[in-house]
Amino acid sequence: MIRKTFQFLPGVGEKKEKNILQHAKNWSDFLDRQLPGISARAKNAYDIEIRRAGQALRENDSAYFTGKLRPIENWRLYDVFAEEAIFLDVESSGSSLGSYITVLGLYDGINTKTMVNGMNLDLAVLKKELHKAKLIITFNGSSFDIPFLEKKYPGLVPCIPHIDVRHLCAKVGLTGGLKEIETQLGICRPNRIVEKLYSGDPIKLWRTYMATGDEYYLGLLIEYNEEDVINLKTIAERVIKKLSVG
């Protein structure tokens, strides 16, 4: 989809892109012709930007597009960089300034990696995993996960495009939290005990684990987090498919 958008060009928003798409379906079309309403000078500047973007794709350089698209449009990069995307979910001890990571989950589309505070949460390993990715995908991560990590651990999060699936869901009429959207899409979790007993609150699980030392509660939290990142991929791909044909 990225080769069919022009919103990364300076001064091109939705309205101007619609006008361009009437005459050029993709970057190749744009480069091959002079378009009405675009001066020769502007066309030359746009051609340079498109060729640079094409070179970035050939070099597998997703970072080139960081900040070039509005965040809500970063989904257009997914089809190119899907195999190197990382799905991320952070559980914290609370919402206060002193809160910390309790459990952090990563999913590369094949394998999950769960890091637990006080056990295997290694920031050097986490940084290495994140910096291997070409896209970071979260649910509500632009409001919580990414700012939380950037504030607590400067330099941990790589400067690559971020896709917040919550905002994409809203674009296609899916509202609410992750669990509510799973229900709307017919995605079922095998173990619903967290929702039934703990109101879907991972903070309560962590506090219960810390208070009792009972690893049963930690196991539930790990399972809860792992299902979050796995289901996030399913939701992201369903919503991006809708946006692509819309």
Across all residues in the chain, what is the average pLDDT?
93
How far is Cα 75 from Cα 224, in angstroms, rounded to an integer?
A: 25
Q: What is the pLDDT of residues 126-166, one digit of tens each?
A: 999 999 999 999 999 999 999 999 999 999 999 999 999 99
Nearest to 84 by CA among 135, 150, 34: 135
The model's pLDDT over 101-130, given as tens digits with 9 standing for 90+, comes to: 999 999 999 999 999 999 999 999 999 999
- pTM for the full predicted model: 0.93
Q: Where are any strands of DSSP class E within 144-244?
A: 162-164
Asked if residues 115 and 122 have their Cβ atoms less than 8 Å apart, the reply is yes
pLDDT per position as a tens digit, 69-79: 999 999 999 99
Residue 46's Cα: distance from chain center in Å?
28
Residue 198, pLDDT above cutoff 70: no
> Rounded to an integer, what distance in angstroms lies between the CA atom of residue 160 and that of residue 136?
7
